Structure 1
Amino acid sequence: MNEHEDVLERLRAVGPGDQSGRDTFGRYRYQVRLAVHFWLQTLIPDGPKVVLLEHQEDLTLVYNGHARMCQAKSRDLGRSAWSLSVVSRPGGGLDSLGRAFQQTQQVPGTFELLLEGRAVSKQPTQAFFANPAQCPAETNAAVAKSLGVPPADVEPFLQRLRVRSGQPSRTSIDDKNLMLLMHLIPSCTLPIARTTYVRLLAIAEAEQEGTSSTTSEQLLELVNFDQAPHQMGLASARLLSELPGEVVLPQAWGELMARPSMSDLERKLRLAGASYNTIQKAIELRAVGDLRLRTVRAGPQSDMEYADTVVDAALWLAEAIATPYKSDAMVGDKVFAELLKAHGSLGSADPDDRFGDVTELVGVVCQVSDECRFPWRMP
């Protein structure tokens, strides 16, 4: 079976009617999906130049002059938040990073614990996660005991330790990776983006399972290279060879990467290929529409019923406008633009003119999208 046929087989595994691809994506380990997340960032000027899997740690992100050795930990839904006691126990993550530090401490960089989900806000966890090097002596001693080393020996490790909670969850990371992918390739349709993402996951999984661990000397040499060898790890040259279209680096990439979460409205628009400007305008209008809805609904029962009627009519019209564009790669931009031009159609949804102009009614559509009632790309 060639690579193309393999990708098709993986897509068929999703089954009819599935709209997210999550069943297909979910077969890959959390570490693999994180690896693709960082692999996409190799196209950013200040991003990693290569991502290694199972080289001393789950993930090793190599930059010019330093490396980030990362242990990735996931949590089952419903489990309690991360705490110092959890990460200090055997298999909690600190023990693995401690072993990696002993083997590769001559390599400049950090040793990082990447935690899916939130951490507790109580002490001593909060202080330790914020700055392990500044933890009190009793915390230092407790960590040293959990690692089986004297307190004095653990201090150099803590100086280079970073704990990063709030990593993308297993339920959100696929959507986030797809959004990054579609922002990189504006001409890419959602089905092609999903096919490409599956292929990137398969490559990352093969990299995880089929490579031997890099020695500290090899890693140090790689850190000092200006460019990562094409054949080693997940580098930008290899990524570019797998992408289905011309790459355009978004102006707001840094902001997009820094945000831990996004609203349902923004998520839907990004998956519908909307531009940064469209998304920002939609967010602004959603606030306007939400305020107007609240104002109208604050009146008597008849006003609440009128507001609900306006919402239903505006939603119906938005769906009618969106349907012809459902196969368009940039459906989000086009539907939003058409809504803003639909003065007559949207105005008919508000016969008493309680919602001012068309922008407030477009804001109402954005609000119902944020409530998961309008997907922008119709099924």
Structure 2
Amino acid sequence: MADEAEAAESDESDEGFVHPIFRLAPHEDSGSDTLGNYRYQAEVAAQMCVVLLTEDSVESVVCEWHEDFVVSYADGFVELVSVKHRGKRRNPWNVADLCKDGGLAHLFDRWRACDGRSNVRLRLATNAGLTTGKLGATTLKAMCGRDPQVTAGVDAMADTVARHLLRVRWKQAYATIPEVPQANLADIAIPAGFTDLVRLFLAALHIDDELPSRRHITDVNLQSLLIPAIARLQRDHVDVEATYRALVERIEKSNRDESDRGQLAVYIADPTRVLHSVQIQQRIARRRLTKATVLDTFVCSSSAVPTIARGQLPIVAPGGANLRKKMERGRIPADEAAHAERLRSAWYVTWSQQRSGLAGDTTDLANASFEVLDIVFACREQAEEEAPGSAPYGRRMNQLMARHLTPDALGTGLPFPVNGRHLRGLAYQLCDDCDFYFSEVFDPSEEEAS
């Protein structure tokens, strides 16, 4: 308890006033009663993580403590998502249940904590159906959003939802829902302005009641989302099921980080607030999943990796003059030199198509290049030792490179599957860039290749 008090004092001193809502531990509810429901929430979050692989409009997914997750969009919007699974034996959601157990009171409270900012959207995601009728949950769904399908009767629905939220407040302490005397639903005294707030809340809300059930969500995510995304990314030889498990486990790991219980949505919604606290930046970074994070969960299959993927035509890589001159000076036969050119081109195509397009590509390539050069220099040292006197050693060096440049020899490796020919192609590209020679050092620009 002393540690928690000290942490709270530290947060206040670092960030100024801390609203009491940020100190509240979330209440247990029907969405988190079992490990299975935790898993379900993670699999719903995984849907958005797969979407951000191919959709530039989605920037990141942040696993929350108070929310199930928060989605950040490139246009500056953020979406607070609450996931509710309902067993098949339960009846469809009615409005009262949505407010109490379905997460609407929870979402309203978090929306108000974000000051109802115009860039904050809300989504209640569930697998269960909705009741019909004039004031049923289906009608509520149609009245939600900035472009509602139904506009007649919105005032009456907002009044009904307001009363249900106030009734929920009697048993659950939500800081942004006022406490009123207990009474029958129709006799509840609604505080001035509260119904207007509920109407704005409904305009920010989207209800998605078409999620797969817990039993089917894995198959749906694999077949409808992950496999198509891998195909669009042209990531051959990805173990789809192992990758999906790794992604869900990565999300669950963030959800289990109970050292970060503060609500982060308010900071994600207003990035200027994050700038004032390194601590908050670190918390968000630990829980944020980006395209690079998701790509890191990809698991390569153990099948052989082709040098050129099926259906692709070989492309001649630009450059190559320095490599030709160096191989000629190293006395490497013309046919072996021609093969080196083809492998350099194969590497060029593979890197162009498989890299993520993110800033991390530069680091990945640099790390792989360091390791390849270490192996190349070791091969050159051995070739020099084996060569009698001052005899050329280039061909022997090239033979040793073919033997030792294998994926197993790399430590960190690359974020996509490669074979030894790809690594030799990278080596030949590094040679063309003048990072090493097959002979003594010379200036290729002063020598004509035959």
When normalised by structure 2's length, the TM-score is: 0.44
What's the offset of the Cα at 1:43? 1.2
1:39-188 aligned at under 5 Å gives the runs 39-64=49-74, 65-88=76-99, 90-104=100-114, 105-106=116-117, 108-125=119-136, 126-132=138-144, 134=151, 135-148=153-166, 150-179=194-223, 180-186=225-231
Question: Does the aligned pair in 2 maintain the 1:62–1:223 contact within 8 Å?
Answer: no
Matched residue, 1:203: 250
**In 1, distance between residues paired with 2:88 and 2:60?**
31
Pairwise CA distance, 1:130: 0.9
2:246 maps to amino acid: R
Conservation of the 8 A alpha-carbon contact between 1:54 and 1:208: yes
Aligned AA (1:185): I
Secondary structure of the residue aligned to 2:58 is coil
Matches of 1:128 and 1:29 in 2, distance apart? 28
- Residue 184 to residue 137, structure 1, CA distance change in 2 (3 Å): closer
1:1-379 matches, cutoff 5 A: 29-64=39-74, 65-88=76-99, 90-104=100-114, 105-106=116-117, 108-125=119-136, 126-132=138-144, 134=151, 135-148=153-166, 150-179=194-223, 180-186=225-231, 192-210=239-257, 211-212=260-261, 213-214=263-264, 216-221=266-271, 232-244=287-299
1:200–1:93 distance in 2 versus 1, CA, 3 Å: same
Contact 1:182–1:188 (8 Å) recurs in 2: no
Q: Distance in 2 between matches of 1:196 and 1:171?
A: 19
1:233 and 1:222 mapped to 2: Cα distance? 17
TM-superposed deviation, 1:44: 2.3
Cα displacement (A) at 1:61:
0.9
C-alpha separation between the residues in 2 aligned to 1:220 and 1:137? 30
**Hey, what's the Cα distance between the residues in 1 that align with 2:141 and 2:87?**
21
Q: Supply the AA of the counterpart residue of 1:82.
A: W
Task: Assess, with a 3 A threshold, how the Cα gap between structure 1 residues 26 and 234 changes in structure 2: closer, same or farther.
Answer: same
Deviations 1:303-361 (A, max 9, x none): xxxxxxxxxxxxxxxxxxxxxxxxxxxxxxxxxxxxxxxxxxxxxxxxxxxxxxxxxxx
Q: Which residue type is aligned with residue 174 of structure 1?
A: T
What one-letter code is carried by the residue in structure 2 that aligns with 1:49? E
Instruction: Give secondary structure in 1 for the equivalent of 2:248.
Output: helix
Tell me how far 1:81 sits from its aligned partner: 1.6
Q: Which runs of 5+ in 1 are unaligned?
A: 1-24, 247-379
Contact 1:51 1:235 in 2 (8 A): yes
Tell me, yes or no, if the aligned pair for 1:185 and 1:245 is still in contact at 8 Å: no
- SS of corresponding position for 1:61: strand
Q: Is the 8 A contact 2:254 2:286 kept in 1?
A: no
Structure 2 unmatched ranges of 5 or more: 1-34, 146-150, 167-177, 179-193, 276-283, 302-450
Change (3 A) 1:157 1:56: same
Q: 2:445 matched to which residue of 1? A: none
1:343 maps to none
Q: CA deviation at 1:176?
A: 1.5
Structure 1 moving runs of 4+ over 6 Å: 222-225
Question: How many pairs does the alignment contain?
Answer: 218
Any conservation in 1 of the 2:119–2:269 contact (CA below 8 Å)? no
- Residues 276-318 of structure 1 show CA distances to partners (whole Å, capped at 9, x for unaligned) of xxxxxxxxxxxxxxxxxxxxxxxxxxxxxxxxxxxxxxxxxxx
Quote the RMSD (CA, aligned, Å).
Answer: 3.1
Question: What secondary structure does 1:207 align onto?
Answer: helix
